[in-house]
Structure 1
Amino acid sequence: MNGRSDPHDSSEAPDPEAAGPLTPNEKEEVEQHAHLRPLAIYEVVRQEGAEELARPAPSLWWSGVVAGLSIGLSIATEGTLHTLLPEAPWRLLVESFGYTVGFLIVILARQQLFTEVTLTAVLPVLAKPSRGGFRALLRNWGVVLAANLLGTALFAAILWIPGLLPRFLVDGALGVSRHMAELSPMQAFGRAILSGWMMALLVWLLPLAEAARIWVIVLVAYLIALFELPHVISGAVEVFLLLFHGEMTAGTALAGFLLPLLTGNVIGGSALFAMAAYGQVREEMAQG
């Protein structure tokens, strides 16, 4: 009533320009973070996907083979912890950390992993559908998947060679592989949908993670292992290992595991997450 403004009056909105004693560089960083809304995250992932679609097939192939070998370290490390740790209720909580190793290497080294491609490569095609884009997507998927599978088969063969690696490592890898083989085809398919969704979620989180990228990768990969959600590429290491040891037939490996895992991962990563990611920014893209 006396004309003076009440400092506690909540009706006055804070001044967004009142940045305080920040340097110009700090203000620029704040501005960049403030505008990293879903559309910006989508654009980062879409541009990565467009770059992947334009890469030559030999580059995709060799990167995919190396990724298949690298992801084998997840099974080897998880298996080693499984063998060396005592049988206790907490063993799964610890051994699941071993599963994160291969994913850390693959993602930080920017190697081609099929379940990452199911999200990144599909976003440019959703944004601008065309026959050429669809053909590029199928080429990318086909080359990366075949290369990943070859890499996983090579890693499983290394584990299979008698006397090459320590017995506890091979026994541990076989142990976790046999546990995966207990799943029925429908269980493998259903769980693979969830793991595909979580891998796509990881790709979506990485542009925001910055210095925390390592911890985001560890968290998501750890949860996939802890929840026993099979992944088609790491699962391929387990399938090939059992196949080489004569504990699984080729028909069971293909129809009972690889195809259900592949289909589930694609549905979780592309049909669900990619469509949802595109849907939440479609109107904003149209307005822009």
Structure 2
Amino acid sequence: MPTFQVLSQKCSPPEALNVLKGLGYTVGFIIVILGRSELFIEHTTLAVFPVLAGDQRLSTMLRLWGIIFVGNIIGYFLEYIITLLEPHLLSTGTDIFEDIALHLTEYPWYIIFGSGIFAGWLLGILGWLDIASKETISRIVIIALITFIIGIGGFHHSIVGSIEVFAGVIVPGDRVSWSDLGKFQLWSTLGNIIGGVFFVGLVKYSHTIRALK
């Protein structure tokens, strides 16, 4: 019996599933960040600095955001579709995918938006701490701590979360709709951008400018 099947049978959503999500977020982000992959939230935070300094145009930054956002979404969608096609995983039943998706979409838009702001703020801080960390072990600890909080807290991440909702849409069942995915994608993305840019990027930039004066 696959490990995922054993765990899913023992899990009672949302509490136990949140623990699994937290661990999954941690492992995934450690691999992605240490592998120097392009992260959307990281770029929403860091790419704003050349624009504020007058070295780049706003249109250039927005184009960069768009390319990385679409690339992240396509990559994760393809990965998740391949996972869903794996017969042993599907033997666990598809209800678990709908349960995970519903745990992200059952809120009104302003809750998703606010949660997205907090997730963007955490990931923006993660980007700064990752740059400041000198050793691999310290980087892993920082990544694990912050991303586990996002996963176990159920905070809305516009990339990873959209894949979880997408999985709930495409599996057999009618509890999660395309409109749920659209609502999640819109408000979580806006929240992540605001959390990363305004609550981390602009604050850090203002501190940097003040220190240079």
Q: 2:154 aligns to what? A: 228
User: Comparing 242-251 with 133-142, which one deviates more in the overlay?
Assistant: 242-251
The alpha-carbon deviation at position 174 of structure 1 amounts to 4.0
User: Comparing 241-250 with 225-234, which one deviates more in the overlay?
Assistant: 241-250
The alpha-carbon deviation at position 182 of structure 1 amounts to 1.7
Q: Among 60, 84, 93, which residue is 1:136 paired with?
A: 60
Q: State the structure with more CA Rg.
A: 1
* 1:34-59 Cα distance to aligned partner (Å, 9 max, x none): xxxxxxxxxxxxxxxxxxxxxxxxxx
The alpha-carbon deviation at position 215 of structure 1 amounts to 0.6
User: Comparing 82-91 with 172-181, which one deviates more in the overlay?
Assistant: 82-91
Distance 1:171 1:100, change over 3 A: farther
Alpha-carbon distance in 2 for matches of 1:214, 1:220? 10
TM-score (norm 2): 0.84
The alpha-carbon deviation at position 184 of structure 1 amounts to 2.0
The alpha-carbon deviation at position 180 of structure 1 amounts to 1.4
Alpha-carbon distance in 2 for matches of 1:200, 1:178? 26
Alpha-carbon distance in 1 for matches of 2:113, 2:13? 29
Q: 1:124 aligns to what? A: 50
The alpha-carbon deviation at position 81 of structure 1 amounts to 8.2
Asked whether the equivalents of residues 38 and 68 of structure 2 are also in contact (C-alpha less than 8 Å), the reply is yes
Q: 1:249 aligns to what? A: 177
Asked whether the equivalents of residues 100 and 165 of structure 2 are also in contact (C-alpha less than 8 Å), the reply is no
Q: 2:107 aligns to what? A: 183
Question: 1:128 is paired with a residue of what secondary structure?
Answer: coil
Q: 2:74 aligns to what? A: 150
Q: 2:33 aligns to what? A: 107
Extract unaligned runs of 5+ from structure 2: none
Alpha-carbon distance in 2 for matches of 1:134, 1:242? 36
Question: 1:178 is paired with a residue of what secondary structure?
Answer: helix
TM-score (norm 1): 0.64
Aligned length: 206
Alpha-carbon distance in 1 for matches of 2:6, 2:108? 25
Distance 1:94 1:228, change over 3 A: closer
Alpha-carbon distance in 2 for matches of 1:87, 1:250? 25
Alpha-carbon distance in 2 for matches of 1:209, 1:244? 40
Asked whether the equivalents of residues 159 and 170 of structure 1 are also in contact (C-alpha less than 8 Å), the reply is no
The alpha-carbon deviation at position 193 of structure 1 amounts to 0.2
The alpha-carbon deviation at position 111 of structure 1 amounts to 0.6
Q: 1:160 aligns to what? A: 84
Alpha-carbon distance in 2 for matches of 1:82, 1:188? 27
Q: Among 202, 210, 213, which residue is 1:283 paired with?
A: 210
Structure with larger RCO (C-alpha < 8 A, sep 6+): 2
Distance 1:92 1:209, change over 3 A: farther
> Root-mean-square deviation (CA), in Å?
2.7
Question: 2:159 is paired with a residue of what secondary structure?
Answer: helix
One-letter amino acid matched to 1:163: P
The alpha-carbon deviation at position 206 of structure 1 amounts to 1.2
Asked whether the equivalents of residues 120 and 191 of structure 2 are also in contact (C-alpha less than 8 Å), the reply is yes
Asked whether the equivalents of residues 122 and 270 of structure 1 are also in contact (C-alpha less than 8 Å), the reply is yes
2:183 aligned with 1:259, yes or no? no
